[in-house]
Structure 1
Amino acid sequence: MHPSHSTTTPEEVAALGNQLIEIHQRLRLAMSDLSDVSGNIMVKCLAFCGALERHHTGEERGMFRVLAAKHPELRPVIDELRRDHEQIAEILRRVAAAPSRDELAGLAALMESHFTYEERKLVEALNRLR
């Protein structure tokens, strides 16, 4: 999901907000899988942490830049989301080093709050991008 690429079609751009929700849903499901500690939690954590980090890196490099340029009124929201990314990255480092139920619960709560806020504030603007 990189709206800055010139090969993106208008139909793809129009659906960016919907794509964001779909990506968040997949990450939510992956997070819920981490609560099942019966499997190899370290492997699950590393895979999940990598996916979430790639998602946030993509937002930083693409979506946030485009939105800030086309919708300057969203810059305070984007700044808040970037601060969330920093907090989440710190938790991801701790989880990757030593996964625990407490760290995973904290990550899940912060992630859900972040996703909900991002969806509420950005989906409409993303779906209107042309």
Structure 2
Amino acid sequence: MADRNRLLALSHQLADIHDRLRDQLADLDDLPTHCLAFCEALTRHHTAEETGAFPQLEEESPELGPVLDELRRDHELIVESLRKLAAGPTALERATLAALLETHFTYEERKLAAALGRLDPRLGPTLLGT
């Protein structure tokens, strides 16, 4: 049972972070108030993944290399989408970002859950940017 709980701990932390970001994204209709906080939270999360979780996962599960490369490309697309949103927020930019993030979050949760379960859940804040 302890192994099962450990398996779920980091994948649940990842899903919780994504859920909070989804909630913040829903508030972007009031962009001047929420955009900066949302962008900072998203950037903090993705930076933590790229400097914490992804290197750990590559070391522990090298077969995830292509998945992690895909997620890194997503991060670059998301940064570009955030730039466009900040430059002139339109309904299309918000919808594009929302769709991109939802696809990214779902893919990441599905592909990384088992591998995250093999890592120490106490590292969550470092690895995932909670």
TM-score, normalisation: structure 1: 0.83
The answer to whether the aligner puts 1:20 opposite 2:10 as a matched pair is: no
Superposed, which structure 2 residues align to 1:1-130 within 5 Å?
15-34=9-28, 37=29, 39=30, 41-130=31-120
Gaps in structure 2 of 5+ consecutive residues: 121-130
**Shift of residue 93, structure 1, vs aligned partner:** 1.1
**Shift of residue 14, structure 1, vs aligned partner:** 6.3
Cα root mean square deviation, aligned: 1.7
Instruction: For 1:15, give the aligned amino acid.
Output: A
Which contiguous aligned blocks of 4+ residues in structure 1 show a shift greater than 6 angstroms? 11-14
Q: Deviations over 1:58-105 (max 9, x none)?
A: 100000000001000001000000000000000111112221111010
Instruction: For 1:30, give the aligned amino acid.
Output: Q
**Shift of residue 46, structure 1, vs aligned partner:** 1.6
Q: Cα distance 1:109–1:14, how it changes in 2: closer, same or farther (>3 A)?
A: closer
Residue correspondences, number: 116
**Structure 2 CA distance for aligned equivalents of residues 123 and 98 of structure 1:** 36
Instruction: For 1:98, give the aligned amino acid.
Output: G
**Structure 2 CA distance for aligned equivalents of residues 61 and 50 of structure 1:** 16
Q: Which has the higher contact order (CA 8 A, sep 6+)?
A: 2
Asked if the contact 1:42–1:99 (Cα under 8 Å) also holds between the matched residues in 2, the reply is no
Asked if the contact 2:11–2:116 (Cα under 8 Å) also holds between the matched residues in 1, the reply is yes
**Shift of residue 128, structure 1, vs aligned partner:** 2.1
1 or 2, which has the higher helix percentage? 2
Worse-matched range after superposition: 93-102 or 75-84 = 93-102
Gaps in structure 1 of 5+ consecutive residues: 1-10
TM-score, normalisation: structure 2: 0.83
Asked if the contact 1:68–1:75 (Cα under 8 Å) also holds between the matched residues in 2, the reply is yes
